[in-house]
Amino acid sequence: MFILQIQHLSPPVQRFLLKSQQHFAFPQLEAGILRSHSFAVFNSTGEDKAAVFKAGSLTKLVTGLAVLLCQEKGLLNIHQPAAKCLPWLPGKATVLDLLLHTGGIPRGKLWKCNPGLQEIQSALSRLPGEDIRTGQYRYSNLGFILLGFIIQQVTGTCYEQYITGQVLVPLHMHASGFGNKESGSITTPHTLLHFYAAANHPYPLKAVQLEAAPHAAFDLHTTIPDFSRLLYCLLHQGTYGGKQVFQPATVDLLLQLHQPAGKRVSTGIGHLRTQAHNGVLLFQSGEHFGHSASLLWHVEKQQVYLAMTNRGGASSELAYVLQCLNRYYLQNGNTTALNFNYPGTGNFTGTYQYNATVFSISKAGNNLQLTSGRHRSDLIYKGQGIFQQTLPHWGRYFIRADMNGQTAKGLFVGPCYFHKTGHNETLPGHKEPPHTTAGIYQHPAVGRVAVFMRNKQLILAYAPLKESRLHPIADNHYVQTDGPFCGEAVIFDTHHHQMLLGGFDFRKTPYHY
């Protein structure tokens, strides 16, 4: 069996990854760094055996590859209508549309199961015709579930068997697979209990049972070494162990085909793409029920970074860790890249006020420090302009600056907005009356979300600072104008006791965020 050459991580990288585990409350953290013909791995437990994680939406890279292998074998053409394989499928989406999330297929509510054909047909039959609009980027797990059925239809083999035979076995990915049959070997998942009264710090964790998920969309379980074998093969034009496993043209399509999906971001097959100042980056984040994963690929340098943890809602923190590693290697081992300090040039220092609470932010060496009364906390940067802090009462909330050019004019702190004193127009931090829809809503299978008014803007939060602004379009009917599910409707009942979101009925709890 071909074995990647293992290299030791430098001590600064090991220390940074250990600190990352502590800062971001990863129960376990494993990471891999693939550079040309070398591979280095980090395991926070210190054990020789690699942990098995659910890779979440990194599964989509594997599903996308499998579809292209079907094209390579002449079984389909990605430009053909998807309905040619699935005649019951509404709309005009092509197979490529499904691969790029441009098929107009909503994200779907079939989460904690691996749905069968009848369930899929039933879910699609209930969609209004106007919901199927091709061409526009609309992230969809349901679209990749459909791709799994297309693979099954054209190969005559179930999705899992096809992936195993065409990808996992040739690459010796023996610890990888689907479903929970080997759940004893999969690392114990942990979920975050945000929006619960007991949540008094940034990462309230709870160990949970392993849940089922749609196999073709986000259910692959794997290890860092296993998934790195796939990445190595893609990095080397489809060769692995001296054998041509995938054709170079197929690999090129997988990694290079893309179209715009937003500001500076394009959607590719199983990944996103952006032009950074130092080159093209491919990236993908994965979330499962209690596991998270992140992938970062620097195209010009041919360096790939991979991280996984058994904590849900951790993909943004993992992405930040990988970005720091990428800077470290691009700067030839410059250890200043491995830190939790804000890397931007914005000016956050100053005094901010909400109601009777005053926050002061000052410089402390290369770091930022937050003071309120006699309490003080370092601001730990976690990527995407977000900081965590440990002040009493406020420690449960993350902080993001509201910028005016290069200067902060206020702070988003959970449901509160802190105005910068001396900066603006009104009494600082005037407490707003609660909106009639405000509260914490719960669905037994999905969990909790929060709705609140902040700085005259109604917000829907899936997690702290994983938010969407809500724009009213009719009585009790809103649309999300940004966030993870931009364009998706949010509908409240007339008494504001229920909320329809993503096809799920959420009920209002007695609690507020």
pLDDT digits (tens, 9 = 90+) for 216-275: 999 999 999 999 999 999 999 999 989 999 999 999 999 999 999 888 899 999 999 999
| pLDDT greater than 90 at residue 2 | no
Range of weakest confidence among 166-175, 187-196, 426-435, 437-446: 426-435
Percent of the chain with pLDDT over 90: 67
Q: In the beta sheet, which residues pair with residue 29?
A: 309
The pLDDT tens digits for 303-346 are 999 999 999 999 999 999 999 999 999 999 999 999 998 877 67
Q: Residue 500 class from Cβ within 10 Å (0-12 exposed, 13-18 middle, 19+ buried)?
A: middle
Rounded Cα distance, 222 and 361, in Å: 42
Judge contact between 441 and 509, C-beta under 8 A. Answer: yes
- The CA distances from residue 308 to 102, 315, 325, 410, 468, in Å, are 28, 9, 14, 34, 26
The pLDDT tens digits for 355-367 are 999 999 999 888 8
Its pTM stands at 0.91
Judge contact between 212 and 113, C-beta under 8 A. Answer: yes
| pLDDT greater than 60 at residue 426 | no
Judge contact between 241 and 1, C-beta under 8 A. Answer: yes
